[in-house]
Every structure is written in structure tokens, then in C-alpha cells.
Structure 1
């Protein structure tokens, strides 16, 4: 874990850092689900580091409860995660993601590119990051609640990839249709659908993971970021 200064420079929060052997190709900010920087998110960072990237996962719930690590397969912890999400200030979260992007760029040096990959709540935040920051590329897995921020699509100027779970019980078909209607023609946005898959299908571990679709989505993400980040 490393410390990152907030954009205002008056506070610090923690982030999990995984570094590759040798010079990084670029950096990936991994944006957490509602379960904090748990073992699954850390494993995603470690995997990116093995592929040659510097990977950074900021603790976005630090203002509510620093160091949260929850298991989505444990009902009480799932409910706690939903409570944290309900109290989470997403605008502040984007500011902290921007601070993490800056921290990643400072470690890369001049010319280094930074992408972000988010899951669930993090998928929504990846979309917001694409619209509100200078991140070089963004990927959102099964993002929640996009319809009420689709008006921000006009601010997206860097590549954005979205993975949609076709049977997502948090994102009903009508919301998925709204997303397609708003973004299918956007020159910077690519959407892949995974029919029959539920929310969380690309989790690293646990009951939610669907192996074949997870591997397919991750291969598309890797190719997308290799093209736009390095």
C-alpha cells in the first residue's frame, strides 16, 4: 500500500500498488467494486503488473471507512457493501481517481499513459472518469446506473470500452437499451454484450465468476489497453 495526496494536497489516502519487472508499458488505475480493495481487486492489479503495467487501486471508501475488504459471497458483508455504496460521494471518488491518475503518471515519467478499469460501481466511475478527466483510456465492466449520466457522453474524448452483462440483475434490459441508444454511435465508445451473464461475471474469485465470458472480456480489455496505453 502507498499513500496518495488528494487533489487539494491536504489529505492522503491509501492505494494498492503492483509494479512490473522492468520499465512499465503504462499504468492502469483499477477502480474497485463496492467491496473495497479486497483480494479480488488486488489480484487484478497483480495480473496487470505481470503483463508489464504499473497497477494502482485507490481506496475510494477511505472517507467512510479506510481499508474496507468485503466478500460478496457473504450476505452480511454484501449488505454492508450496499450501505457503503449508498453513502459514497461519487464526485469525490472521481477526484480521488484523478489524484491516482496523477500519481501513476508521476511514477511513469514524461509521456507515460494511464488507463483505468472499473467494475460494478467502478464501471460507472470508469465512465465518469472518461468524461471528467484526462485519462488516456477507460474500461467499465457491468457499470451500474449509467442512464442518469448518459448526458455526459459528449465530454468523452478518449477511448472507452464497456462490457455489458446481458442478464445483469442490477441493470435491467431497458437500461441496457438506453445505454446502447446513447452510445452505439459515439466515435470513442465500444460496447460488448455478454448474453445470459449476470453482474460480476468477471470477478477474480467466488460464485459470481463465469469463466469463459470473464476470459473473453479480459482478453478484449487487454487488447484495447495495449492499443491505447502501450
Structure 2
């Protein structure tokens, strides 16, 4: 079962898509969007976490500046999403994650974060600034923050062919975050988990990364 709920954040009300497992939960996961908003794809990923046994919550991070927006995976959507990402900024995004985590903690749940693209970098900051176990899928904007120490287990997924995160950037992750688990997948690029976009989706890689993510969450939230 999934539905919209409201978060009372320091930056005003923010909707969040909440999905519940059919039985006892294995913990809670905050799902962090790409630059395209908390769209149908992100909501489907949230529901997939619920099907795997987690209470899952996907905040619509753009709500403080563009309530309800969902963007297409085209040039116009990419341009608009990039502008909204820059306008919102990381600090407000982390504040929203903090509100979501506090709400879930009040329910007695252990909480982790999983983010995609821009949300992958937000997930990293949820670890270093909020202490949440986190998984980052191809977060290309993490480099300026790599000197921030981890406060919980951390996993990164990268595509070897991702031009936004070249090999030298991945190596910086290894050097600056030696305690993190880093997976690099050959023959795939950016957004390999985005199963609504055949230009980037790679089913085999997405499934392997998904299994690793679930194992990580099960261990980290136990």
C-alpha cells in the first residue's frame, strides 16, 4: 500500500510517497530522487523497497520551490531539473531528509537512505551529516564533499562508462572514503537503474546492484 503523506520541514510542507510492506518491516529507507522529481519511476522504486520488506519514504525534494513538479527525461526536463537542483541546494535537501528520518525514528525504526543521481549525492550527505547508512547510485556531485567523514556504513554504485563520474573521480572516492564499499560496473553508464528509459537501463547490472543494496540495508539496519 502506498500513498502521499506530508512532512513538516523547516522549509515548509513537503509531500512524500510512502510505501508499506505487507508484513513486519526490516527497517525504513528514505528514497532520494534524481533531478526529475519524485516522479512515477521514483515512486515505483519506493514501492519496490516496500515489497522487499522496508517501510519506504520518497520526499518530493523540490516542493519548497516547485511543488508537485515531475519532469520528463528529455533535454528540457534535464535543463529544468538542473536549475531546480541548483536553486534548492544541498543544505535544504538534507534538512528535508532529516525531517523524514526524524519521523521514521519516532516510529521506532532504523533508517537508511538510498539515492539516485543527484539524490545519490544527497544520500552521501545523509550519511556524513545525519549518520544514516546510505547507498549512492551514480551520485556525480559528491566530489566536493568527500573530505566529510562517514558516520555510518556507505555503499557506492558507479557505471564504468559514466562520463559524469570518470575513473579518476571514482578513484578519489576510494582514496578519501576507504571505509566505503564501492562497486564499479563494466559496460554501463549513468542511470543504469532507470528502468523506464531504455537508453540507459541495463537490467542485469540493475538487478545486481539491487541485490547488493538490499543486502547492505539488511545488514546496516539490523
Question: Fold conserved (TM > 0.5)?
Answer: yes
Question: CA offset at residue 174 of structure 1?
Answer: 2.1
Per-residue CA deviation, residues 60-84 of structure 1 (Å, 9 max, x unaligned), is 1112201121121x22222211221
Secondary structure of residue in 2 paired with 1:88:
helix
Secondary structure of residue in 2 paired with 1:34:
coil
1:158 is the counterpart of 2:152: yes
Question: CA offset at residue 29 of structure 1?
Answer: 0.3
CA contact (8 A) 1:15 1:56 kept: yes
Question: CA offset at residue 23 of structure 1?
Answer: 2.7
1:2 is the counterpart of 2:10: no
Secondary structure of residue in 2 paired with 1:193:
strand
Question: CA offset at residue 172 of structure 1?
Answer: 2.2
1:142 is the counterpart of 2:138: yes
CA distance in structure 2 between the aligned counterparts of 1:140 and 1:134, rounded to whole angstroms: 14
CA distance in structure 1 between the aligned counterparts of 2:25 and 2:195, rounded to whole angstroms: 23
Q: 2:34 — aligned with what?
A: 33
CA distance in structure 2 between the aligned counterparts of 1:52 and 1:103, rounded to whole angstroms: 19
Q: 1:196 — aligned with what?
A: 187
1:64 is the counterpart of 2:55: no
**Alpha carbon RMSD of aligned pairs, Å?**
1.4
1:93 is the counterpart of 2:84: no
Per-residue CA deviation, residues 12-47 of structure 1 (Å, 9 max, x unaligned), is 211111111233221100001101011110001111
Secondary structure of residue in 2 paired with 1:89:
helix
Deviation above 4 Å: which 4+ runs of structure 1? none
- After TM superposition, the score normalised by the length of structure 2 is 0.93
Secondary structure of residue in 2 paired with 1:60:
coil
Question: CA offset at residue 227 of structure 1?
Answer: 1.0
1:210 is the counterpart of 2:202: yes
Q: 2:82 — aligned with what?
A: 82
CA contact (8 A) 1:40 1:205 kept: yes
Per-residue CA deviation, residues 83-131 of structure 1 (Å, 9 max, x unaligned), is 212222111110110101111222x32xx21111000001111111100
> Which stretch has the larger CA shift, 10-19 or 120-129?
10-19
CA contact (8 A) 1:56 1:104 kept: no
Structure 1 spans left out of the alignment, 5+ residues: none
Aligned residues between the structures: 218
Q: 1:105 — aligned with what?
A: 105
CA contact (8 A) 1:44 1:204 kept: no
Q: 1:119 — aligned with what?
A: 116
CA distance in structure 2 between the aligned counterparts of 1:204 and 1:139, rounded to whole angstroms: 18
- After TM superposition, the score normalised by the length of structure 1 is 0.90
CA contact (8 A) 1:32 1:121 kept: yes
Q: 1:171 — aligned with what?
A: 165
Structure 2 spans left out of the alignment, 5+ residues: none
Secondary structure of residue in 2 paired with 1:151:
coil
CA distance in structure 2 between the aligned counterparts of 1:126 and 1:20, rounded to whole angstroms: 22
